[in-house]
Amino acid sequence: MLDLGPTPLANRVLPPEAVDEPEPTFPLAVVVCERCALVQLTETVPPETLFSEYVYLSGVSDTVVEHMRTHAVELMADLDLGPDQLVVEIASNDGTLLRPFHEAGVGVLGIEPAANIAAMCAARGIPTEVAFFGREVGERLAADGVRADVVLANNVLAHVPDPVGFVAGIAAILADDGIARIEVPYVVDLVDNVEFDTIYHEHLMYWSLFALKALAVRAGLVLTDVERLPIHGGSLRITLAHRSDPEGMTRVDALLTDEASRAVHTPAFYAGFGERVRSLGHQLRTVLRKLRRSGHRIAAYGASAKGATLLNGFGIDGELVEYVVDRAHTKQGLLTPGTHLRIHAPEHLAQDAPDFALLLAWNHADEILAQQSAFRAAGGRFILPVPTVRIV
């Protein structure tokens, strides 16, 4: 489907003093299975390398915080959750999603592999176990008596090398009448909107509903509902349970029919994607070079993982873009992987006033454009890179 060549790890931001040290790269190629149409990377970087120490924080984006709060409020109301119920979140990150449950007195348990981030969660009073969740951890927790009324797993399924074991682990801890909600980037949105930059080593698989349904069956759970969400460039929120739910099945069937009509379950749907990515790269480099040639200064906003793919994949480096700004304190003062652009706090943008900012976190465009009103009022413009290059 796409071969981006040897690429550094998207979240491996590095300190300036490490700039001359060798930077590990790994092949970044995406293939489509001719039998089951699962889209996946050819190379699996060990999860321990990627996630034992992590820099991405959910709580940095107001949109993500609100998205998670709304979901929590909805679940608490729909399922009438209280102190006798337990919500388990897998990859609980900084505790942004569990927090509203915890504050309302609902029982919570976070499971997070990055020790540095689990500590932030624990500091908020949210019990958190440092572990990579999978079949074994699920079975161990179940043997210890853990029965979850709700299991939440946002943006983690795409990251696990053994998705069947992962969902089987969920089945092990899920109460008989419990539900699991999994959010995952939707491969149809990725293809439709040329979101090639959401491809990086952390994302081993790119899920369609067709593939998710097969996964649920193999792991012993039933796919009972689905919702399309705009978050992160387009995601699916699926519900899994031990038993089916006729109401939700109507939505599942409707989306499966929609996918079938577009042949999402065949390699044909993915043909031509690589060419569209190459053409976008050409378009973006041409715009940036023209701006530089006419003397304009360009910075970037968002030291996101997808930004690393975009810069490295399109060969956009310090010649074209001077630096990046980002709100995450875990990234500030460090350098972007591969391209080694310095990461500053967002305030730097309005102070330094470059002419343009390449928006590497285009999925948060509304939030960032609103927040950067001072930069924009002073004449600063944003370059949005996908699905087509636009200047606003």
- Tell me which residues touch ligand JHZ (CB under 6 A): 56, 60-61, 155, 202, 232, 302-306, 326-328, 331, 346, 361, 363-364, 367-368, 371
Q: In the complex, what is the shortest distance from the CB of residue 265 to ligand JHZ, in angstroms, rounded to a whole number? A: 24
Q: In the complex, what is the shortest distance from the CB of residue 362 to ligand JHZ, in angstroms, rounded to a whole number? A: 8
Strands, E assignment, the chain: 2-8, 25-32, 39-41, 86-90, 107-111, 128-129, 148-154, 174-185, 205-206, 222-229, 235-241, 298-301, 323-325, 342-344, 356-359, 381-384, 390-391
The residue (of 38 and 241) whose beta carbon lies closer to ligand JHZ is 38
Q: In the complex, what is the shortest distance from the CB of residue 363 to ligand JHZ, in angstroms, rounded to a whole number? A: 5
The residue (of 32 and 158) whose beta carbon lies closer to ligand JHZ is 158
The residue (of 77 and 377) whose beta carbon lies closer to ligand JHZ is 377
The residue (of 154 and 224) whose beta carbon lies closer to ligand JHZ is 154
The pair phi, psi for residue 33, each rounded to 5°, is -75, 130
Single-letter amino acid code for the residue at 177? D
Q: In the complex, what is the shortest distance from the CB of residue 287 to ligand JHZ, in angstroms, rounded to a whole number? A: 21
Strands, E assignment, 99-173: 107-111, 128-129, 148-154
The C-alpha atoms of residue 245 and residue 285 are separated, in whole angstroms, by 49
Angle, CA 253 vertex, CA 90 and CA 156 arms, to 5°:
15
Q: In the complex, what is the shortest distance from the CB of residue 119 to ligand JHZ, in angstroms, rounded to a whole number? A: 18
The residue (of 256 and 305) whose beta carbon lies closer to ligand JHZ is 305
Q: How many residues does the chain have?
A: 392
Question: Would you say 209 and 216 are in contact if contact means Cβ atoms under 8 Å apart?
Answer: no
The C-alpha atoms of residue 364 and residue 64 are separated, in whole angstroms, by 9
The residue (of 181 and 306) whose beta carbon lies closer to ligand JHZ is 306
Single-letter amino acid code for the residue at 228? R
Q: 186, 163, 179: which is closest to 248 by C-alpha? A: 179
Q: In the complex, what is the shortest distance from the CB of residue 64 to ligand JHZ, in angstroms, rounded to a whole number? A: 7
Single-letter amino acid code for the residue at 135? R
* The token pair that represents 353 in the structure block: 């006033």
Question: Would you say 205 and 190 are in contact if contact means Cβ atoms under 8 Å apart?
Answer: no
The residue (of 219 and 361) whose beta carbon lies closer to ligand JHZ is 361
* The token pair that represents 379 in the structure block: 């004449």
Question: Would you say 130 and 113 are in contact if contact means Cβ atoms under 8 Å apart?
Answer: yes
Strands, E assignment, 191-296: 205-206, 222-229, 235-241
The residue (of 115 and 268) whose beta carbon lies closer to ligand JHZ is 115
The pair phi, psi for residue 379, each rounded to 5°, is 105, -5
Q: In the complex, what is the shortest distance from the CB of residue 103 to ligand JHZ, in angstroms, rounded to a whole number? A: 23
The residue (of 86 and 321) whose beta carbon lies closer to ligand JHZ is 321
Q: In the complex, what is the shortest distance from the CB of residue 125 to ligand JHZ, in angstroms, rounded to a whole number? A: 23
Q: In the complex, what is the shortest distance from the CB of residue 141 to ligand JHZ, in angstroms, rounded to a whole number? A: 23
Half-sphere exposure of 101 (CA within 13 A, CB side): 33
Question: Would you say 382 and 364 are in contact if contact means Cβ atoms under 8 Å apart?
Answer: no
The residue (of 149 and 197) whose beta carbon lies closer to ligand JHZ is 197
Asked, as a colleague might, if the bond just before 385 is cis with ω within 30 of 0, I would say: no
Residue 198 DSSP class: G
Q: Is 371 exposed, middle or buried (0-12, 13-18, 19+ CB in 10 A)?
A: middle
Q: In the complex, what is the shortest distance from the CB of residue 303 to ligand JHZ, in angstroms, rounded to a whole number? A: 5
Q: How far out from the chain centre does Cα 190 lie?
A: 12
